[in-house]
Amino acid sequence: MEWLGYFNYWVVVALMMIGFYGVIARGNMVKKLMGLGIFQTSVFILFISAGKIIGGSTPILREGVTVYSNPLPHVLILTAIVVGVATVAMGLALAIRIREAYGTIEDDHIAMQEAAEDGRQSESAR
Amino acid sequence: MTIVELSPFSMLVPLIASPLCALLPGRLWPWLLTFAAAVASAVIAAITLPAAMDGTLSYAFGDWRPPIGIEYRIDAANAFVALLVSAVAAVILPWAKTSVDREVPERQGPFYALFLLALAGLMGITLTGDAFNVFVFLEISSLATYALIAHGQDRRALLAAFRYLIMGTVGATFLLIGIGFLYMMTGTLNMADLAQRLPELRDTATVRVALAFIVVGMGLKLALLPLHLWLPNAYTYAPSFISVFLAATATKVALYVLLRFTFTVFAPDYSFVALPLAVVLMALAVAGMVVGSWVAIYQSNIKRMLAYSSVAQVGYMVLGVSLVSVTGLTAALLHVFNHALMKAALFMALGTIAYQVGSVRIEAFRGLGKSMPWTLTAFALAGVSLIGLPPTAGFISKWYLISAAVEAGHAWLVALIVITSMMALIYIWRVVEAAWFQRPAEDAPAVSEAPLRLLLPVWVLVAANFYFGIDTRLNVGAATAAAEALMSGIPGGTP
C-alpha cells in the first residue's frame, strides 16, 4: 500500500496525461484549450502538494501551533493561475476570431479550406 | 543613483509605458511613447553592460535580501542579451512607423502597448535571477506575442497565433514543472542559490527530470528542430514589424534561458553528463541546419523562406552550445548577436518590399532589381551576411563556430557548416536571380523605390552587418566575456 502515499502525485500524472492527450489529439480548438487547462491544473496540484504538510496549519502565528504548511508554492500557483486564465482567455478570443474568419473551429475543416485556397493561388500564378 | 539601482529600469520603463500607451489616441503619440521607452531601455542596458562585465550586479527588489527576496542578477551574459533585445527594438521602431501605419491602420495604441509588453517581458527574462520570475516574464512576453501575431492582415495569422499559443503554453508549462521539481528538492527559487544547493542532490531522479523538462520546454520556445512547427507560420503571417522583432529577439532570449539553466543553475559538468545532452543537442542542431535550409530552398513565399532559414540558424546556435567549450559558447552567443543583425535587416528589407509591392511571393520579385535597386541591394547584402561571406558579421560567427568544431575534434561538422551555408547561398540567390535576371510580368503594376524613411533604417542595419564583420571588438569581446561567465559555472562570477 506504499503507493497510496503518493496518491496526489498519481492524480497529477493522470491529469497531466489526460490534458496533454486532449491538446494533441483533439482537432476542435475549444477542446484543445480544455486539454491545456487540465494540463496546467495538474501542474498547480503538483506545486501545492509539495507545499502541504499533513497536520500543518495555515502560516499565521497563533498560540499552540508549531507545524506550518509552506505558503510559498500557493503564492506561486496563484500567479500561475492568473497566467493560465490569461492564456485561456487569449485562446478563446482567438478561437472566436477564427470562427468569424473561417466559419469553423475544427482543425481539419480549416486545413481543407486552406488547401482549396492554396490550389486556387497556384493556378492563378500559373 | 548607481548603475545597480538603474539597471532594473531597462525592464521597468517599457512595462510602465505599456498601459499608458494603450490609452493614447491616434497614431503618432503611441509610437512616440514606444520609441522613447525603447530608446531609454536601450540606453540603460548600454550603461549596464560595461559595469556587468567588470563584476556581477545584484539588485534586491523591495530591499528584501536574496535568496529570500527577488533579485536581478546581471553578469556579462544577461547584460549582452538585454542590450541586444532593447537595441534591436530601438533601431527597428523608426522603420516600424510607416510599415505599421499600412498594416495595422487602426487602434495603434493597444498594438504598441502589446509590443512594449513583449519587450518588457523579454527584458525581464534576461535580467532576473529568480527561476519563477523567468516563467512569469516568459508568459508575459508570449501572451503579448500571440496577440501581436494575430494582428496580421491574412486570416491565417489567427491560426498561426492559436497554434503558437498552444505550443508556447505547453513549453512554458514544461518549464514550470521543471522549476517546481527544483523547488521541491532545494526549497529555493533563486538561481544562484539553486546552483549552490544542487550539487548535493545531483544523483536524484527528480533533478534529472527537472533538467529534462526545462530543456524540452525551452526547446519548444527556441524552435529547435522537431519542436519548431509554430515558427514558420507565426513569422510568415505576423505584421512585418512583428516578424522583424520576433526573428531578431524572441528565440534568442529562449536560448539564453536554456544556457542559464544548463550552465549556471546545473553546472555544465552536470547537465551534459547526467543526460546525453551534448549528443542530443548536436543531433537536433545538425538536423535543424540541414532540414531548415533544405525546406527554405523550396518556399515560394519569401517571408516563409526566411522563417525556415531561422530554424537553420537556431541550429547553428545550438550546435555551438552542444560543443560545451568556451569557443563553442562564444560562437553561439556571437551568432545570437549577428543573426539578430542579419535577420532584422532581411525581414526589414522584405517588409519594405511588401509595403511597396504588396506581396512577398517570389513571383512579385521579378524585375524588382531595376525598379527598387536600393531595397534589393540591401536585401542582397544582408543575404551575404546570412550566407557568411567576409567581411560581414555572418562570417565572424561561422568562423568561430568552425574553430570551435575543429577544437572539439569534429571535423565533419566543418563540412556540414559549409554545405548548409551553400544552401543559404541557393535560397538567397533565388531572390537575386528573380530580381535582376528576370523580366517583370506583363501585367505587373509599376513600382517605384521605397520612401527614405523605410530605406534608411534598413541600410543602417546592413551597415551594422558590415561594421561588426570588420570591427569585432564589441561583439566578440562581449560574447567571449559572456561565454566565460557561463562556462565557469559560478552564478554570475564571484558573488
Q: Which three cell numbers stand for residue B42?
A: 536601450
Element (H, E) at B413: helix B411-437
What is the pLDDT tens value at each position of chain A, 126 positions in all? 677 778 888 999 999 999 999 999 988 999 999 999 999 999 999 988 888 888 888 888 888 888 888 888 888 999 999 999 999 999 999 999 999 998 888 888 888 888 888 777 666 555
Looking at the predicted structure, is the pLDDT value of residue B193 above 80?
yes
Contact yes or no for A43 and B180 at CB 8 A: yes
pLDDT at B492 over 50: no
Residue A88 at interface with chain B, using a CB cutoff of 8 Å = no
Query: What is residue A71's DSSP assignment?
Result: S
CA distance B302 to B110: 29
Residue among B162, B72, B126, B166 nearest B252 (CA): B126
CA distance A65 to chain B (A): 22
Give bridge partners of residue B71 from the DSSP assignment: B60
Interface test with A, best of B142, B164, B169, B170 (most A CBs within 10 A): B169
Interface contact A50-B183, CB threshold 8 A: yes
Residue A60 pLDDT: 83
- Condensed to tens digits (0 to 9), the pLDDT of residues B72-98 reads 989 888 899 999 999 999 999 999 988
Cell 516574464 -> residue: B137
Percent of chain B with pLDDT over 90: 51
CA distances from B477 to B79, B484, B494 (A): 13, 11, 20
B301-313 pLDDT tens trace: 999 999 999 999 9
**Which of B165, B180, B363 is closest, CB to CB, to A87?**
B165
Q: How far apart are CA B419 and CA A104, in angstroms?
A: 44
For residue B495, the model assigns a pLDDT of 36
- C-alpha to C-alpha distance for A111 and A95, rounded to whole angstroms: 15
Give yes or no for B150 touching A (CB within 8 A): yes
Strand partners, B74: B57
Query: Cβ–Cβ of A87/B183 closer than 8 Å?
Result: no
**ipTM of this complex:** 0.91
Closest by Cα among B225, B325, B231, B324 to B284: B225
d(C-alpha B224, C-alpha B318), whole Å? 8
Are the Cβ atoms of A29 and B158 closer than 8 angstroms? no
In B305-397, where do the E strands start and end? none
Is B440 a residue whose pLDDT tops 80? no
Contact A87 B159 (CB under 8 A): no
pLDDT tens sequence across B220-229: 998 888 888 8
What is residue B494's predicted lDDT score, i.e. its pLDDT?
Answer: 38
B136 contact residues in A (CB cutoff 8 A): 79, 83
Specify the pLDDT at position B311.
Answer: 92
Residue B13 has pLDDT above 90, yes or no: yes
Nearest-CB residue to B176 (from A80, A90, A101): A80
Query: Which residues, 6+ apart, have CB-to-CB distance to B98 below 8 Å?
Result: B355, B451, B453, B454
The DSSP annotation for B133-189 comes to: HHHHHHHHHHHHHHHHHTTSSSTHHHHHHHHHHHHHHHHHHHHHHHHHHHHHHHS--
A chain contacts of residue B132, beta-carbon cutoff 8 Å: 76, 79
Considering only the beta carbons, identify the residue of A79, A86, A125 that sits closest to B363.
A125
DSSP secondary structure, B179-227, as one string? HHHHHHHHS--BHHHHHHHGGGGTTSHHHHHHHHHHHHHHHHHTT-GGG
Percent of chain B at pLDDT > 70 equals 98
> What phi, psi does B71 have (nearest 5°)?
-120, 140
B456–chain A Cβ distance below 8 A for any pair: no
Range from A91-95, B32-36, B385-389, B472-476 carrying the lowest mean pLDDT: B472-476
Could you tell me the three cell numbers for A19? 490534458
Q: How confident is the model at residue B357 (pLDDT cuts 50, 70, 90)?
A: confident
Sign of the CA dihedral running B376, B379, B381, B384: negative
Q: How far apart are CA A69 and CA B26, in angstroms?
A: 52
Stretch (H or E) spanning A113: helix A107-125
| Angle of CA points A55, A60, A61, to nearest 5° | 100
Please indicate if any CB of chain B lies within 8 Å of the CB of A90: yes
Average pLDDT over residues B176-196: 90
Query: Is A36 close to B363, i.e. CB distance below 8 A?
Result: no
> Does B169 sit within 8 Å of A87, measured CB to CB?
yes
Cα-based torsion angle of the residue sequence B254, B259, B260, B265 in order, rounded to the nearest 10 degrees: 130
- What is the number of alpha carbons within 13 Å of residue B434 lying toward its C-beta? 18
Query: A65 at the B interface (CB within 8 A)?
Result: no
Query: What is the distance between the alpha carbons of residues B279 and B402, in angstroms, rounded to a whole number?
Result: 18
pLDDT tens for B238-255 read 999 999 999 999 899 999
* HSE-CB of A60 using CA atoms within 13 angstroms: 2
pLDDT confidence of residue B489: 60
Residue A6's pLDDT is what?
A: 81
Residues in chain B with CB shorter than 8 Å from the CB of A87 are: 139, 143, 165, 169
d(CA B265, CA B458): 39
Q: Is the pLDDT of residue B139 over 60?
A: yes
Q: Which residue in this structure is represented by grid cell 574553430?
A: B403
End-to-end CA distance of chain A: 70
Most confident of A84-93, A113-122, B46-55, B382-391: A84-93
- CA of A43 vs chain B CAs: smallest distance (Å): 6
| Best to test chain A binding among B135, B154, B176, B363 (most A CBs inside 10 Å) | B176
Is the pLDDT score of B299 beyond 80? yes
Chain A residue with Cα closest to B154? A101
| pTM score, whole prediction | 0.92
Q: How far apart are CA B27 and CA B44, in angstroms?
A: 26
Query: Does B155 touch chain A if contact means CB atoms closer than 8 Å?
Result: yes
Q: In Å, what is the CA distance from A14 to each residue of A8, A10, A41, A78, B339?
A: 10, 6, 11, 22, 42
Residue B59 in contact with partner chain A when CB distance is under 8 A: no
pLDDT given at position B289: 92
Backbone angles phi, psi at B328, to 5 degrees: -60, -45
C-beta atoms of B166 and A50 within 8 A: no
Looking at residue B165, its pLDDT comes to 94
Distance from CA of A29 to the nearest CA of B (A): 9
- B95-115 average pLDDT score: 89
| Calpha distance B474→A116 (Å, rounded) | 51
Nearest alpha carbon to residue B307 among B322, B284, B288:
B288
Cross-strand bridge partners of residue B73: B58
3-state SS assignment for residue B239: coil
Please indicate whether, in this complex, the C-beta atoms of A87 and B176 are within 8 angstroms of each other: no
Distance from C-alpha of B314 to C-alpha of B317, rounded to nearest angstrom? 5
Chain B within 8 Å of A44 (Cβ-Cβ)? no
Would an 8 Å CB–CB cutoff place A114 in contact with chain B?
Answer: yes
Q: What is the pLDDT of residue B137?
A: 94
Distance CA B76, CA B407 (A): 24
Q: What is the DSSP letter of B369?
A: H
Average pLDDT on B196-206 reads 87
Which residues, other chains included, contact A40 with Cβ-Cβ below 8 Å and sequence gap of 6+? A19, A80, A84, A87, B169, B173
* Pick from A23, A46, A110: CB nearest B177: A46
Q: What is the DSSP string of B330-352?
A: HHHHHHHHHHHHHHHHHHHHHHH
Q: Is B169 on the interface with A (CB under 8 A)?
A: yes
Contact A87 B139 (CB under 8 A): yes
Q: How many CA atoms lie within 13 A of B267 on its CB side?
A: 15
What's the CA gap between B320 and B87, in Å, rounded?
24
The candidate with the shortest Cα–Cα distance to B295, out of B285, B307, B279, is B307
- Say if the Cβ atoms of B363 and A90 lie within 8 Å: no
- Give how far A45 is from chain B: nearest CA, Å: 11
What value, to the nearest 5°, has the Cα angle with vertex B29 and ends B24 and B31?
A: 110
Instruction: Indicate the burial class of B32 (C-beta count within 10 angstroms; 0-12, 13-18, 19 or more).
Output: middle
- Picking from A36, A73, A79, the nearest residue to B136 by CB comes out as A79
A-chain CB neighbours of B166 within 8 Å are 23, 32, 36, 91
Q: Do B173 and A110 touch (CB under 8 A)?
A: no
Q: B130 with B261: CB under 8 angstroms?
A: no
Distance from CA of A91 to the nearest CA of B (A): 6
Q: What is the DSSP letter of A57?
A: B
